[in-house]
Amino acid sequence: MAVQKFITGNFYDEAVLFPAVKKVRRGGYKIHEVFTPFPIHGLDKAMGLRDTSLHTAGFIYAITGTATAVGFITWALTVDWQINFGGKPFFALPAWIPITFELTVLFAAVGMVLTFCYLCQLAPFVRKDHFNLRSTDDTFVLVLECTDKTNDAEAMSFLQSIGGQDVQVQYKETGWWLGRYDKDTKRFERKAEAAH
């Protein structure tokens, strides 16, 4: 676990966000992440993220599934326990294609979901810090990573100048830990107090 310093800015419009992302990259700042409530087409390209290799993983899972199905059925029906089905040869490949197909899809699907969860560090009870809860609702949150050389005031005014609102410095935990969101009531208690 390591707490790091970040500068965050809110954006309310894609038309402001996209040029801002470009300007931030050109200005030499490092984008930690842009949090959005929904996927935005082209944002990954604008941020300069590389293509995910999730589909390569999917392909590997799929051929693993194919090999498992063909291998196991072949062993079971030609070596271990030969059964005569309507005079067909023991190695009756066409009849195995549906099962092979299904295992291929199953391996690829389950494998990719688990890999996705691993890459995004998603699991039950895995707890992570949020920069701004509204990034799950109605705002885009652009997060800049700070090093010890970063001039806070300069970076904040820069983020403001390109359209960022509510710009602030935040110290956040970058890793994950075990916990539960619904038990962590502090944030909501504070809100409830404010409402009274």
Partner 1 sequence: MTIRENYVVPKRFNMIAFTLMVIGLLTIVGLYATHGSKEDPIAQARFWGSLLQNSVYFLLVVNAAMFFICATTLAWGGWQMSFRRVTEAISACVPVVGTICGVILLLICFGGNHEIFHWTDTEHVKHDKILSFKAGFLNKGFFAFMTVATIVLWSLLGWKMRKLSRSIDETPLNVEESKKYIWKNTVWAAVYIIVFSLTVMSSIPWLWLMSIDAHWYSTMYSWYTFASTFVAGVALITLFVVFLKNNNYLELTNEEHLHDLGKFMFAFSVFWTYLWFSQFMLIWYANIPEETTYFKPRAQGIYSGIFWLMFIINFLAPLLILMRRGAKRNYTTVTFMALLIIFGHWLDFFQMVFPGHQKDKVPMMLWDFGVALGFVGLIMFLTGRALSKSPLLAKNHPFIKESVIHHT
CB 195 within 8 A of CB 40: no
The amino acid occupying position 169 is V
Phi-psi region of 44 (alpha: psi -120 to 50; beta: other; left: phi over 0): alpha
* List 38, 42, 83, 84, residue binding partner 1 (CB under 8 A): 42
Instruction: Report if residue 97 touches partner 1, rule: CB under 8 A.
Output: yes
* Residues in 101-160 that interact with partner 1 by CB under 8 A: none
68 half-sphere exposure, CB direction, 13 A CA radius: 15
Instruction: Report if residue 28 touches partner 1, rule: CB under 8 A.
Output: no
Least Å from the CB of residue 141 to partner 1? 22
Contact region with partner 1 (CB under 8 A), list: 13-21, 81-89, 113-121, 171-179: 81-89
* List 13, 53, 59, 123, residue binding partner 1 (CB under 8 A): 59
Residue for token digits 């890459």?
A: 119
**How many residues make up the chain in this entry?**
196
Nearer of residues 42 and 124 to partner 1, judged by Cβ: 42
- Which alpha helices (DSSP H) does 75-124 contain, by range? 93-119
CB 103 within 8 A of CB 66: yes
Least Å from the CB of residue 42 to partner 1? 6
CB 144 within 8 A of CB 155: yes
* List 26, 41, 149, 186, residue binding partner 1 (CB under 8 A): 41
Residues touching partner 1, count (CB under 8 A): 12
Contact region with partner 1 (CB under 8 A), list: 25-33, 93-101, 131-139, 152-160: 93-101
Contact region with partner 1 (CB under 8 A), list: 80-88, 109-117, 142-150, 154-162: 80-88
Neighbours of 153 (CB within 10 A): 9
CB 11 within 8 A of CB 164: yes
- The residues of the shown chain that bind partner 1, judged by CB under 8 A, are 41-42, 51, 55, 59, 86-88, 94-95, 97-98
